[in-house]
Amino acid sequence: MAKLELRGVAKAFGDNAVCRGIDLSVEEGQMVCLIGPSGSGKSTLLRCINLLEPIDDGEIMLDGEDISVPGLDPQPVRARIGIVFQSFNLFPHMTAAENVMLAPRRVHGKSREALAAPVRALFQRFGLGDKMGHYPDQLSGGQQQRVAIIRALAMSPEIMLFDEITSALDPELVGEVLDVLRQLRGEGMTMVLATHEMAFAREVADKVCFLDGGMIVEEGPPATIFSTPQEPRTKAFLKRVV
């Protein structure tokens, strides 16, 4: 597992400054939750960390190595940083197992034979051992999202990013996906989550960062942020959503 450190990360789309000098430390094995209003820049920040968006300024350090230097090949870095989105994006014509094997085969050049045992172990670890041969339309939304998480884990990432991964799910399916995150935390995975699940963030996060207008306005342990927020913007947001 790896440590992540952002220093002064800035990102604009045209004249819309979406990340405005973000400093963030994520220690090895920590779960950090990004909360904040819609449009505050949570998704963009995660996309920048995964090098899906080039940053305009600042540094992104993964285990002490600057992964944001211009001209760096993003592909090997992305293989070290798993990301899961709100939409599961599984290929409908492939079984769950084939979806999971795709990236390790293409990026790491591994054979189906070599992947069979570790992929089976991943499905079993997350309670989907009997679903490997199912196609996405034979799975519930919660199961599809768990397969999407397994797909990211199959690349053996050092850190995992989650972008509102329960927002598209029916309420009764949210719990099983959050349980996967609890399990990963117990196993020591380093994780950054953009989430609207305040109860979950309060219960499980090591640190909560409140974003507003592209800046981390306030951060701290969940007990402090949720019980005694100091910043008026944090207070107003939590009053609205909790």
Ligand X SMILES: Nc1ncnc2c1ncn2[C@@H]1O[C@H](COP(=O)(O)OP(=O)(O)OP(=O)(O)O)[C@@H](O)[C@H]1O
Residues at the contact surface with ligand X, assessed by CB under 6 A: 13, 16, 18, 36, 38-44, 164, 194
Q: How far is the CB of 48 from ligand X (least distance, A)?
A: 9
Of 97 and 194, the one with the shorter C-beta distance to ligand X is 194
Angle, helices 141-153 vs 112-125, to 10°: value is 130
Of 38 and 75, the one with the shorter C-beta distance to ligand X is 38
Are 74 and 130 in contact, with CB atoms under 8 Å apart?
no
Of 72 and 241, the one with the shorter C-beta distance to ligand X is 241
SS (H, E, C) 128-175: CCCCCCCCHHHCCHHHHHHHHHHHHHCCCCCEEEEECCCCCCCHHHHH
Of 36 and 141, the one with the shorter C-beta distance to ligand X is 36
Q: How far is the CB of 6 from ligand X (least distance, A)?
A: 15
Q: How far is the CB of 33 from ligand X (least distance, A)?
A: 13
Q: How far is the CB of 240 from ligand X (least distance, A)?
A: 13
Residue of 165, 160, 163, 188 whose CA lies nearest to 176: 165
